[in-house]
A and B are shown apart, each in its own frame.
Chain A
Amino acid sequence: MRPHSSHVKLALVCPPTREHVSDIDLARALISGAAWAYAETWNRFSPVVFNMAISALGSPSEAEDIVQEVFCRLVRKAKTLRQPECLRSFIVSFAIRVLKWDLRRRRVHSWLTFEPSEALVDVVRVSLDIEARDMLRRFYALLSRLGARERLVYSLRHIESMTIEETAQAMDLSLSTVKRLQERATEQLSKWSESDFELTALLLRKRGWHEA
């Protein structure tokens, strides 16, 4: 009698690459202090932080400084993350905290030195015409006159296009507070922008209108 032979199909099973690790597993690896987790967290979340920072500051170089600062602190504090499923909000909260600290530091510095905040010279690294670059520079100059919370709320809501709920969660504020801060920021920015004659002239020139 001939013995039966069976053939089992073999397949090569590869471990999931780090790019495919879920945020929760990544958070657990961060908590355990795995070195690869820091690099993967950077790859995954540094653009998010950079976008938030540049929306608020307008300067890529300053935004990159903020991103580096956020991740340096994150490496030190990763073990304090209690809920692995909240890694994204944990990092965003870190970023908001660092941004607020940086904006307040600038205001205090300007008060102590009696010098206004430095004018931004490298507003954005995009192809804009001269008028548009000048308008953006003036716009961020107006933003810098706002308080840290108002500035962050306005930039997250209108430039970063976050919802009120997202903004409230990121900044650890109530919805009503976010709305109030947004209204206050809009009101002040409108007043300042309408009273800026050079800015008005730039807008008119942009539209092709000329004073008679």
Chain B
Amino acid sequence: MRPDAGGIPDPSPLAILTELAHDARSQLPVPTPEELGNKWEMVSTRIAAQKARRRTLFRVSMAGVLATAVIAAWVLPRPGRLPGKATARADLSYQVEGGIVVDGGYLRESGSDTVRMRFTEGTEFVLSPGTRARLRSVSNSGARIAIEHGTASFQVTPRSEALWQVDVGPFLVTVKGTVFTVSWDAVSERFDLRLRHGEVAVTGPVSTGEISVKAGQRLVVNLPKKETVITEEDDGEKAANLDSPWTDSADPTQAPASEHPAPVSGRPAVRNPALATERRILDAKSGAGRDWVEAVAAGQWDHVLAEVDRAGVKQTLAHASSEDLLALADAARYRRRAGLARAALLAERNRFPGSPSALDAAFLLGRLEESRQGQIGEAVQWYDTYLAGAPTGTYASEALGRKIIATKALRGATAAESLAREYLRRFPVGPYAGAARELLLHP
């Protein structure tokens, strides 16, 4: 039985307990300032210790991150690894014949005339004697080679992911799959690239952007003169001129035949057709039409063609100066607009008959016709026209050489033999001398 205090109901056990807890809590003494100060000292110490722990943890974490980064950088494959070191699993491997790779990736000859480098995926290149080159990096997609001086010939195996880059003096040649020869003369600052197959992109000074060079074209850049010239070359010319080790008859160690021109009596020596064009551009600089001539020399062919398209082709052909017509023909040839090039050259001949430029146009028309299917006969006629008008002219050796090639293709080697003998008599060290001798020895 529970007591009943004056009719007031007994408080529940919970109420009693809660009241007890409340009373106990109320009896807690208020802390003095000294006690609070002492406790704050403890808290301050704890805070300082926590800060020190966080700093230590941060340093340990950073050290861990750094160590992980170092290990990752060491273990993971590195693109562009320098040669001579252990290569990553996917990097191309290579063999060097006739030389060795020394510190810095420089290729040094070892008694042999040439240095040849072969890569596992089939790409190879050959350095002509005296060429100073450096293997800058090798990756799984290709390599980067620097030609500091001299001539090198490349045969790059086409692959979708291939990336081969050749630093040639201040120029950069980017290739995927192609055969080409490139040279750089550091003294005269002259860049020369001849492309047999494929397509390459060239960047560097002079040109405002990337220059795309296609198969059969030759790009010559003369930095002191700020001239950029592209000329077309066909198979016969390549056989005669190129020093590529991947041609049938050429010696890879020989400098291009066109680099050793035959002096032509009574006229300035012309080193090769490309430079003939170059010389013409130089000549034209002193006269009217300077803008287009300079634009073509600077590689701004599209600029010239755009102006022609704006003004109208007929209008231009009817009123342009002799120099402008030749510049237009060059720009059109570089951009593979053969019809426009032919029209410009024909306009040159029709409007300025009897002029040296009209004769030059005849030779260039021969080159254009030669590149057209089934027009070799026309080409021979144009070469005859030129040779008749300028037997010792700028393009004489070129025209006769091209006539040998065209006649052989048109009527056979026997018909071309007499032309070959005539060529050797007139131009014994000319650019087509090798082809002429080959024809006579192995008709």
Q: Which residues of A contact B (CB under 8 A)?
A: 38-39, 42-43, 46-47, 50-51, 54-55, 58, 60, 64, 67-68, 71-72, 75, 123-128, 132, 135-136, 138-140, 142, 158-161, 186, 189-190, 193-194, 196, 199-200, 203, 206-207, 209
Q: Does any Cβ of A come within 8 Å of B110's Cβ?
A: no
Q: A126-B27, A135-B17, A203-B16 are known contacts. Are A158 and B22 too (CB-CB below 8 A)?
A: yes
B25 adjacent to A189 (CB under 8 Å): no
* The one of B21, B36, B37 that contacts A136, using a Cβ cutoff of 8 Å: B21
In the assembled complex, the Cα of A189 lies from the Cα of B33 at a distance in Å of 38
Q: List 20 A-B contacts (CB under 8 A).
A: A39-B44, A42-B40, A54-B28, A60-B28, A64-B39, A72-B46, A72-B47, A124-B25, A124-B28, A126-B24, A138-B17, A158-B21, A158-B22, A160-B25, A193-B12, A193-B14, A193-B17, A194-B14, A203-B13, A209-B2
> B253 CB to closest chain A CB, in angstroms?
76
CB nearest to A190 among chain B residues? B14
A125 adjacent to B20 (CB under 8 Å): no
B20 adjacent to A139 (CB under 8 Å): yes
Q: Does any Cβ of A come within 8 Å of B43's Cβ?
A: yes
7 other A-B residue contacts (CB within 8 Å) besides A46-B31, A58-B21, A158-B21: A38-B44, A43-B37, A54-B28, A124-B28, A140-B21, A158-B18, A209-B3
* The one of A43, A123, A200 that contacts B33, using a Cβ cutoff of 8 Å: A43
CB nearest to B22 among chain A residues? A159
CB nearest to A195 among chain B residues? B13
B42 adjacent to A68 (CB under 8 Å): yes
Q: Which 5 A-B pairs have the closest CB atoms?
A: A139-B17, A126-B27, A124-B24, A193-B13, A42-B40
In the assembled complex, the Cα of A142 lies from the Cα of B13 at a distance in Å of 12
Query: For residue B2, which residues in chain A have a CB less than 8 angstroms away from its CB?
Result: 209
CB nearest to B33 among chain A residues? A43
* The one of B21, B30, B39, B42 that contacts A159, using a Cβ cutoff of 8 Å: B21
In the assembled complex, the Cα of A153 lies from the Cα of B198 at a distance in Å of 83
Encode contact with A along B36-59: 1 for CB under 8 Å, 0 otherwise: 110110111011001000000000
> A181 CB to closest chain B CB, in angstroms?
16
A-B contacts counted at CB < 8 A amount to: 97
In the assembled complex, the Cα of A180 lies from the Cα of B233 at a distance in Å of 95
* The one of B12, B16, B25, B47 that contacts A55, using a Cβ cutoff of 8 Å: B25
CB nearest to A63 among chain B residues? B28
Chain B interface SS verdict (over half): helix
> B339 CB to closest chain A CB, in angstroms?
76
B43 adjacent to A71 (CB under 8 Å): yes
Query: For residue B21, which residues in chain A have a CB less than 8 angstroms away from its CB?
Result: 55, 58, 136, 139-140, 158-159
A159 adjacent to B18 (CB under 8 Å): yes
B25 adjacent to A128 (CB under 8 Å): no
CB nearest to B31 among chain A residues? A47
B28 adjacent to A72 (CB under 8 Å): no
Query: For residue B42, which residues in chain A have a CB less than 8 angstroms away from its CB?
Result: 68
B25 adjacent to A54 (CB under 8 Å): yes
In the assembled complex, the Cα of A209 lies from the Cα of B5 at a distance in Å of 13
Query: For residue A54, which residues in chain B have a CB less than 8 angstroms away from its CB?
Result: 25, 28
A39 adjacent to B40 (CB under 8 Å): yes
Q: A161-B22, A186-B14 are known contacts. Are A126 and B39 too (CB-CB below 8 A)?
A: no
In the assembled complex, the Cα of A190 lies from the Cα of B39 at a distance in Å of 38
In the assembled complex, the Cα of A125 lies from the Cα of B24 at a distance in Å of 8
In the assembled complex, the Cα of A75 lies from the Cα of B17 at a distance in Å of 37
In the assembled complex, the Cα of A139 lies from the Cα of B17 at a distance in Å of 6
CB nearest to A58 among chain B residues? B21
Query: For residue B13, which residues in chain A have a CB less than 8 angstroms away from its CB?
Result: 190, 193-194, 196, 199-200, 203
CB nearest to A71 among chain B residues? B43
In the assembled complex, the Cα of A64 lies from the Cα of B20 at a distance in Å of 21
Query: For residue A189, which residues in chain B have a CB less than 8 angstroms away from its CB?
Result: 14
CB nearest to B12 among chain A residues? A190
In the assembled complex, the Cα of A160 lies from the Cα of B21 at a distance in Å of 10
Query: For residue B36, which residues in chain A have a CB less than 8 angstroms away from its CB?
Result: 42-43, 46-47
CB nearest to A19 among chain B residues? B33
B30 adjacent to A47 (CB under 8 Å): yes
CB nearest to B21 among chain A residues? A159
Query: For residue A203, which residues in chain B have a CB less than 8 angstroms away from its CB?
Result: 13, 16
B50 adjacent to A207 (CB under 8 Å): no
A126 adjacent to B40 (CB under 8 Å): no
A136 adjacent to B20 (CB under 8 Å): yes
In the assembled complex, the Cα of A46 lies from the Cα of B33 at a distance in Å of 12
In the assembled complex, the Cα of A139 lies from the Cα of B22 at a distance in Å of 12
Query: For residue B18, which residues in chain A have a CB less than 8 angstroms away from its CB?
Result: 139, 158-159
In the assembled complex, the Cα of A189 lies from the Cα of B14 at a distance in Å of 7
Q: Indicate the member of B12, B14, B31, B37 with the most A CB atoms within 10 Å.
A: B14
Query: For residue A200, which residues in chain B have a CB less than 8 angstroms away from its CB?
Result: 13
B28 adjacent to A125 (CB under 8 Å): yes
B47 adjacent to A75 (CB under 8 Å): yes
In the assembled complex, the Cα of A203 lies from the Cα of B43 at a distance in Å of 40
Query: Which B330-371 residues have C-beta < 8 A from chain A?
Result: none
CB nearest to A194 among chain B residues? B13
> B21 CB to closest chain A CB, in angstroms?
5
A51 adjacent to B12 (CB under 8 Å): no
In the assembled complex, the Cα of A189 lies from the Cα of B18 at a distance in Å of 10
Query: For residue A125, which residues in chain B have a CB less than 8 angstroms away from its CB?
Result: 28
B46 adjacent to A68 (CB under 8 Å): yes
